[in-house]
Structure 1
Amino acid sequence: MAAISTTESSPQPRVYFQTPPGNDDTEIPVRKQGRVTVKYDRKELRKRLHLEEWIIDRLTELYDCEEEAIPELEIDVDELLDLPSENDRAARVKDLLVDCYKPTDDFVKELLDRIRGMQKLSTPQKK
């Protein structure tokens, strides 16, 4: 509840917030609603999350190690989507996996199949 007070000592009215009667500090505080400044397509975000989980699973198989021991490499899906052709995308992924001793062709082919038709997330989708 807000109370407006105008006193002769202050030229501008001031607003003071008071707790309504009967409310004490032992009650659960009311959460304020946040504002959403950017909207993303939830379906696309979910697809991206599943893709990233799949990539991690496959990399642990390819490198024959736990997730924490995977060499520092970043497969940036948005970067791949920016490349003009499938051949360029395949070459980029193979460059990233250059130190993998296992065959990577199946991984690269399946990755490119999975990202086909995906949208970049760096620019929000408007409805």
Structure 2
Amino acid sequence: VAGMASEPGTQSRVMFQTKEEEPAQRKLGKLTVKYNRKDLQRRLDIEEWIDGQLRESERERERERERVKLLQRCLIEDFINGLLYRMKGLRKMSGSLKK
């Protein structure tokens, strides 16, 4: 049941009242789950496997990024070398035209 309590000079507050308060131990008992050592070890093994897979996936993504950078650099270098080769050819052509 909710009730409004207002006192002079203070802000209004909502107060909730329950029929019976459960003992603290009983509440904690509902929140805890017991596992035996074998179940805990199995869960730990699974979590470690998942963690390892995530780390490997991230390492693979980083390797892929490095490969893309390297490929882009190679493509740019090939393009620049091609341009330089053509420019040398143009110089030879323009030199022969002046004579």
Would you say same fold, with TM above 0.5? no
Structure label with greater radius of gyration: 2
TM-score with structure 2 setting the length? 0.23
Question: Whose relative contact order is higher, 1 or 2, with alpha carbons under 8 Å and at least 6 apart?
Answer: 1
More helix by share: 2
